[in-house]
Chains A and B, each alone.
Chain A
Amino acid sequence: MTAALSEEEVVRPNVIQLVGVTKSYRNLNVLKPVDLDIKDGEFLTILGPSGSGKTTILRMIGGFTPPTSGRILLRGADISQVPIFRRPFNTVFQDYALFPHMTVAKNVAYGLRIRRRPAEEIKTKVAAVLETVNLTDKAERYPSELSGGQRQRVALARAIVCEPQVILLDEPLAALDAELRRSMQEFLKDLQRRIRTTFVFITHDQEEAISMSDRIAVMDHGNLIQVGTPQEIYYKPRTEFVAKFFGENNLLPAQPDNNAANILESPLGKHSLPASAKGGGSFLLAIRPESFSIHDGSELRQGQSVCVGRLENVTFLGATTQLSLNVGKAQQTIKVRVPTGQSGNNLAFGDDVPLRWSEADVNVLPRG
């Protein structure tokens, strides 16, 4: 965690920049103008529901599909006209796309052989990469003789052996079962740290995105909605879609106060309207269940607020306990998650429970 933070401080140059890139098929706009900077050495995840345009973005970076408009820059130079085989990127395909008529070693050596590297170099590099992915003993096997996870690692080895500037991965873990998937997640993340290559990784699994990424780009319906660190995406969502997409969240309606233009009123009380949220109309407040705590009566710190909720339900989740409480005049239900020890055993249904939270954890979102 601390290591990640100190690395953040170093300003990383951009490897790839998408500038106003769009894609349409006939009259169908599958990608609205997208601007995205991919930084050197980062693990960037593109996350979104099915059909949101994730693969389209990846294929445009790789050169498999030309963008309808906009520019794709590699370290500042436009590569729109560069053919696939001249781009310094390598792709791990969802179906692995291994060559069935070549052994594992031949598959991995393919990129180097095409580049006419000396035989000695190919041999040592292939051996080293197979070692990295733990497939040394499978070198002479054919892909049809491997398990799904092993094929996956061959595909990975085939991509990294070419030492590309960026590795593109299109849902590489989708076909694996849950357990293998988890171990491959760790393996991938670990590998990325070791070889310090930029990874652009596609998934539609939120947990996978949060646990693996340096940054996440959230897509929906061909729009790039928000780009940020997992913490930013989780605690500072900028739209309702992002707020709902990751884990549990409380979304509460909020109206501008009749008397003061920059004060919002919600079931939790009054909030100041941040400058970034402009316009009239109504808003949504997003606040995580774990951002609340039970108010013990001690003095409030700067920026903290309290309110009272009526306890409706208690769910024991192990280390944490989830409370359902009704708040405000409209008796809006909110969820609160507190460490199990803190909830105490003396809470009874119908009790009024005092809650405390920090205004900084409240996100004001445009509604709609």
Chain B
Amino acid sequence: MTRLERLTIALLWVVGGFTFMVLYAPALIVILFSFFAMKNHQIDWSNFSLEWYGRLADNSQLLAALYNSIVVGICAVVSATIISLALAYYMKTGVRRGRAYVEFIIFLPFVLPAIITGISLLVAFREIGLERSLITVTIGHIVLILAVVYRMVTIRLDTLENSQIEASLDLGANGLETFLYVVLPQLRSALLTSSLLAFALSFDETLVTFFLVGGETTLPMRLWAMMRTGFTPEINALVSVVLCVTLLFAALGAMSLRESIERKP
């Protein structure tokens, strides 16, 4: 290694480390804060405690919002995945006219300003007399994340040769069996990553949710509301928990992605 190379590598480490710090320092600080007691709006470093986690466990409003967010996220992801799978497989197995139009309509909400999507959905729901509730929120999230899920499913499905589907039919499997034994297993990791991404999108969605939310609220909406009265330190505990769970899922996703890349012929 020449001196120049060594210098370049050192520089890269510094830049990389700095970027990393800027990105993750705030999160680390929050985690740190969550473990110490507060005295007159000051951190008391001498006093390590799990008090905020305890208070979080007692904050039923915040927990309810968290629970709602998770339920909405899961429902939206599952629905969007089923719709995407059915539609993408239908498009794959034959020459379908109007494919371009259908895909345009699916992608539209993703690029439209969320306010427009939100207001349109609000007006539509009022017209058909659907009360605002977690159900309307879920529908709104489905509309939004469908674009992402459908996109990721079709990208993976397009790399699946048609001859594999034909081979399966040729070996005696009907359409459903072919889908279950040949197509679905090969979409597994694409579905896992798209689900994680879509869940993340749904979990912190606020703009569209704002128009559609009823009596029961989601976590981001709850946090917005709390901003007005000021945060209590159990927020730190909540953020820490969410962060750790997210990291766990991200690692899972990365692992499944790598596995699928290695398996590809």
Contact surface of A with B, Cβ cutoff 8 Å: 62, 64, 83-86, 89-91, 93-95, 97-101, 110-111, 114-115, 142-144, 158, 162
Contacts and interface: CB of A to CB of B under 8 A. Distances in A.
B171 interface: yes
Contacts of B166: 64, 84, 91, 93, 97
A64 B163 CA distance: 10
Contacts of B161: 95, 97
Interface stretch (B68-76, B113-121, B172-180, B218-226): B172-180
A99 B172 contact: no
Given A97-B166, A99-B167, A111-B172, 4 more contacts: A84-B169, A95-B161, A98-B167, A110-B171
Nearest to B178: A85
A101 B177 contact: no
A24 to B, nearest CB: 15
B265 A144 contact: yes
Interface of B: 161, 163-164, 166-174, 177, 181-182, 185-186, 263-265
Contacts of A162: 171-172
Contacts of A95: 161, 163
Nearest to A155: B167
A110 B168 CA distance: 8
A303 B177 CA distance: 65
Those 6 A-B pairs whose CB atoms lie nearest each other, nearest first: A144-B265, A97-B163, A111-B171, A97-B167, A84-B169, A114-B173
B163 A85 contact: no
A365 to B, nearest CB: 39
What's the dominant secondary structure at chain B's contact region? helix
A99 B168 CA distance: 9
B165 to A, nearest CB: 9
Contact of A85 (B170, B185, B264): B170
Contacts of B263: 100-101, 142, 144
A158 B171 contact: yes
A97 B164 contact: yes
Nearest to B186: A101
Nearest to A62: B170
A248 to B, nearest CB: 38
B105 to A, nearest CB: 28
A110 B181 CA distance: 9
Contacts of A90: 170-171
Contacts of A158: 167, 171
A62 B169 CA distance: 10
Contacts of B182: 99
Contacts of B265: 100, 142-144
Nearest to B165: A97
A5 B46 CA distance: 101
A84 B166 CA distance: 8
Given A99-B182, A111-B172, A91 B264 contact: no
Contacts of B164: 97, 99
Which of A91, A93, A114, A143 counts the most chain B CB atoms within 10 A? Answer: A114
Nearest to A94: B163
A269 B173 CA distance: 63
Given A95-B161, A97-B161, A100-B265, A85 B172 contact: yes
